Amino acid sequence: MSITLAIEMEDDIFPALQEDPAQRILEMRLYSAAKWYELGRVSQSKAAEIAGMSRADFISALSRFGVTPFQETAEEITRGLGS
């Protein structure tokens, strides 16, 4: 099952951005997926699925937003090594 989300915008939004509406929609999906991943709300795999791309491409795209691909902090990793 899938859910369709609709966002209503004025006609002059996309020409002002000088971009194709279809490209902007893909970018909005990526922004949402990256933010939800950053907040720990979804896994990398699920975020990549939301963004409509492979996991490898999603991980590469995270750098555009300054989001680390690592889900654990260095301190958490170090603590795990000491156990």
**pLDDT tens, residue by residue, 33-80:** 999 999 999 999 999 999 999 999 999 999 999 998 987 777 877 887
The domains of the chain are located at 18-82
Is the pLDDT reported for residue 83 higher than 70?
A: no
Give the Cα separation of 29 and 27 in Å (integer).
5
Quick one: pLDDT at residue 52?
A: 95
Q: pLDDT of 5-18, one tens digit each?
A: 888 878 777 676 67
Cβ-contact 42, 29 below 8 angstroms: no
Q: Average of pLDDT values for 14-27? A: 78
